[in-house]
């Protein structure tokens, strides 16, 4: 029996068949469902892995007080660290994320980012965690940023722009409340200053289609 289907066997060959449901004397095509406690699944136990990439829908940087950075000065490129304690946000379509994960369990999340060569000449250490903003906020607060489940990633100063995949803790999914990913410096110092490419090209930084990768067990 496969995902929501019966299978029939002839000698050593298996093929799909259908379940039928009846209302009085009328039969219509149905679906096999499997029960686990009080939940129903198309297949149980869950054994199939599904993967999908999601494109960023908005990006923005904020200072340590949560104030949105002025577009004329900074553009919409997420920034992190520095003595200003910058916070960067990457936003994704929450409805698309939930639709993909629905009925399953998140196994892995990663984000691909493009970083500007650090102007300090240092190798910044940047935290990444999830946030629960479904639309770009005018200001940000740690109330909506998960600083408990986070990943610390070092970005080596190669002397040119480069891309990197960073793992995101799966507990940051927060049962579907996740709206995207936040980044901030390990310390509020120039050594941990970083600028990541936003969705659009501006202020000497080429725009980048930041992607979120999710693997789900269904």
Q: Give per-residue pLDDT as tens, 161-187.
A: 789 999 999 999 999 999 999 999 999
What is the model's pLDDT at position 156?
Answer: 85
49-217: CATH architecture: Sandwich (2.60)
- Residue ranges, the chain, pLDDT below 50: 1
Q: Give per-residue pLDDT as tens, 66-77.
A: 999 999 999 999
What is the model's pLDDT at position 1?
Answer: 44
> pTM (2 decimals)?
0.79
**177-180 contacts at long range (C-beta below 8 A, 24 or more positions apart):** 177/132, 178/94, 178/97, 178/130, 178/131, 178/132, 179/91, 179/92, 179/94, 179/130, 179/131, 179/132, 179/133, 179/134, 179/135, 180/56, 180/89, 180/90, 180/91, 180/92, 180/130, 180/131, 180/133, 180/212
Segments making up each domain of the chain, as ranges: 7-41, 49-217
What is the model's pLDDT at position 24?
Answer: 67
């Amino acid at each position: 029996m496969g995902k929501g289907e019966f299978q029939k066997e002839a000698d050593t060959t298996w093929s799909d068949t259908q379940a039928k449901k009846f209302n009085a004397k009328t039969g219509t095509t149905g679906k096999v469902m499997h029960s686990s406690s009080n939940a129903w699944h198309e297949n149980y136990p869950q054994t199939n892995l599904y993967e999908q990439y999601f494109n960023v829908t908005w990006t923005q940087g904020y200072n340590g007080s949560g104030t949105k950075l002025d577009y004329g000065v900074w553009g919409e490129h997420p920034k992190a660290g520095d003595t200003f304690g910058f916070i960067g946000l990457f936003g994704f379509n929450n409805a698309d994320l939930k639709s993909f994960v629905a009925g399953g369990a998140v196994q892995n999340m990663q984000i691909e980012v493009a970083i500007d060569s650090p102007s300090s000449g240092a190798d910044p250490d940047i935290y990444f965690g999830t946030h629960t903003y479904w639309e770009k906020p005018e200001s940000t607060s740690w109330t909506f940023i998960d600083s408990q489940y986070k990943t610390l990633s070092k970005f080596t100063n190669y002397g040119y722009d480069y891309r990197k995949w960073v793992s995101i803790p799966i507990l940051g999914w927060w049962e579907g409340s996740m709206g995207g990913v936040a980044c901030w410096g390990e310390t509020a110092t120039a050594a941990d200053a970083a600028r990541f490419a936003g969705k659009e090209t501006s202020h000497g930084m080429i725009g980048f289609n930041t992607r979120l990768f999710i693997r789900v067990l269904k």
